Amino acid sequence: MAETRSKTQLPMSEISAPSAEEAARAFQRGVELGREYAETALRRVAAWAEENPGQLLLAGVAVGFLLGKLLFSRPRSPAEELG
């Protein structure tokens, strides 16, 4: 890297901040890409569910159990922790 020798270097205006229009286009591209990934994932899960209904049922039970443990667990009292 080059030495600056105590000179202030400011970023060029072209690369410092994109215009609002460019930012909006980038955001829109990101939204579209996210939708495509979500649709692809949905199709793959649907195909897996159609081919393996038993595995889907087992996975649903496991996810439900984990969510139940995480969301509906009651805090333990200090007496329960010691005993």
Tens digits of residue pLDDT in 34-70: 999 999 999 999 999 999 999 999 999 999 999 999 9
The CA dihedral of 20, 23, 29, 32, to the nearest 10 degrees, is: -70
Q: State residue 75's pLDDT score.
A: 76
Q: How many domains does the chain contain in total?
A: 1
* 80 assigned to some structural domain: no
Q: Would you state the pLDDT for residue 56? A: 93
Range(s) of the domain holding residue 31: 19-75
Q: Give pLDDT, residue 10.
A: 67
Domain contains 12: no
| Alpha carbon distance 77, 69 (integer Å) | 17
Q: 14 lies in a domain?
A: no
